[in-house]
Structure 1
Amino acid sequence: MWIIALGIVVAALLGYVALARFAAQQFVLTGIVVLLGWLGYLAIRAITREPPQRGLPVSDLLEQKFGLDAPRRHQLARLTEIALTFALVICALPFLMLQWGFSGADIRDSFKSLFFGLEIGQFKISLARILLGIVLFIALLFATRLFQRWLRERSVQSRLDPGIANSVDTVVGYVGIALAALLSVSYAGLDITNLAIVAGALSVGIGFGLQSIVNNFVSGLILLVERPIKVGDRIVVGDQMGLVRRISVRATEIETFDRASLLVPNSELITGRVLNWTHRDSLAAFNVKVGVTYNSDPEQVIAILLKCAEEHPQVLRTPSPTAVLEGFGDSALLFNLRISLPDVSIHVNVQSDLRIAIFKALGAAGIEIPFNQVDVNLRDLEAIKAYLSATLEQRPNGPASEERAHSGASNPHLSGKDS
């Protein structure tokens, strides 16, 4: 900037007054356009980006009006910033061209050919249709999200099963994205039949290269339609147990009890073994095992177990708890208390409460819970003693050598004679 100003002054001093006047005029006017464009860009950033503790940005407006979560709000705000910045550049560019000698007709023809038809060989590119196609895609995608949000609100009001609501929501999202893509591509001027031919030609390569992805996608559709598992189910996959949080295109998100997210490919859930605790309902039955000493009365123990189960408020009365003598252990009589719970998610706490209550009740009744004891029987004790004695005699520091050393130290005359 300072170099340009210095050049204008030097040109004026050298006598090129007309050149200096023209350069100064263009410099000032161009600077005004650039400054206004920069102020417009700062205004766009102030609108789309969240300022610290001031105003209401677009992202917060989207959260309040449409209920979009934070990542999607920020993503939409960034897209809005890019679109507005592009529009600002398109608006400022003609003013700059006018200042640098382009005529209005030339600028109009250039923008007309660029936006409404630029032929490259046999292809005709229309930037305006492409931009409108992008806008149409974003609008249809936004409408799909609003429709999904409306469905979620209706499902909550009608108390629809969460698994069914999630399946419908996911399918609507897939259909909305597909329709938005097809309509926007068609509006942009691309021939869908040509795209179908290209897709058919690439289908073989895609089938081999993306076989696992296609397999997971089809498996995800099967999970949504057949619903062997659904959102909110408590399942066991391998050695991991958790809650199904989300069924997406490629994988299913499972939240374990330590709050970790386990992503399982959909194909594994279709072809593998999955234990679903809440497939039909949330009712579940669990066992509480206990062992007592052999001198205990089995009927008294069964009565104590049933009493502890009946006194717990979260144990169902129908079906009623049952207690049986399950077997004879090495050091204990083995009993099994079977209970039914209204929700599988509370089984850990209920089992812990019952174990504490059973322990206290058995202690109050004088019934002991044994611990494992191992008895070792030595059949030939004398032979073992003889073997140990012989082994100790053979050792250099055994009892015999220690006795000889002790006697030598107590008799100095004997030690001197030996030396």
Structure 2
Amino acid sequence: MTASQWPASLGPVLCVVGARPNFMKMAPILRALAANTPVIPALLVHTGQHYDREMSDKLFEDLNLPRPDINLDVGSGSHAVQTAEVMRRFEPVLDTHVPSCVIVVGDVNSTLACTLVAAKKGIPVVHVEAGLRSYDRAMPEEINRVLTDQIADRLYTTERSAEVNLAREGITPERVRFVGNVMIDSLLYNRTLARTPRETLAAAGANPALVDQKSGYGVVTLHRPANVDDPETLAALLGVLREISEHLPLVFAMHPRTRANIQRFGLANLVAGPRLVVLPPQGYLEMLGLMAESRMVLTDSGGLQEETTALGVPCLTLRENTERPITVEQGTNTLVGRDVDAIRVQAGEILSGRGKQGRVPELWDGHAAERIAADLASWLVREMPASSTN
């Protein structure tokens, strides 16, 4: 693509975000679209799937994302209600702006909902972070991933195994491009801007000295229903975290769902103590600083598995499976499930200096979004004349 101007016959690209992980992925894409030659016009659509300021508005500030051009203000609800409401509110946006394509990222309800609407209206769909599979259909995200990939017209992958997954599901290689990981684009772009752990604890009213101890400290996040919605499971996990905190202070950035269940199940005593510090949900720059200087991360988050691999920080993933196998095969991630003995043993390995070292995977180099923008421009100019006649 050598033209200096975006073809007048092509509409803008609609970029959809809905929940916290989407923001880190879309920020570098928007920068790359604006820096591409030609500049690719884009509109940012926020579905409002996450509406808490700490989990939405602050991320726009941290990532230097432009304010959304369109906000659907959907809010919370069951999976069915939320998906349906996003679809209902997104359709008029397509009618008004007539985009050249819709870019969706990740695997949240907004990803699938906007994909369905665009596909029904004959508008090409681009899926960033395609092909990741946990092969656990009990995870709502897995359903979103599989269906989005079947419908999408252009699929950008973060790791080679994703291409194998897509081929197994009958998706032709012509639709797929391996470009690298835009989540790591954000991490590398913002690494020098990250808040120091002392700043983060002080701002939350916690003792900053916790992160100055010679032993270092660990970081914890927990939010998945399988881990926090059952009282026995949650109690067991909190119990082993408390044990670990006796050897390594832990900073627990607690999700609202987890906090509510701890109160509901009467488990507050398990997260009380000077060496297990509970913080409210943190902004992107705060979490980046906390992770980068930690000795280990214990999490059930998908994104943190990737970020810790890029940072070279040992990660224990409290899940039975992962849709990001490269973080285990090449990175610093170890799957420990909800097995408290396995958690205890692997944490001990890290504390004794035998944690996984890992390496940074192929194309996790900070330039994935640039590759997406260049390919997208060429593809749209090549494909749109045919699609516009449908």
* TM class, shorter-length: under 0.3
Say which structure is richer in helix. 1
Structure number with greater Rg is 1
What TM-score results when the alignment is normalised by the length of structure 1?
0.20
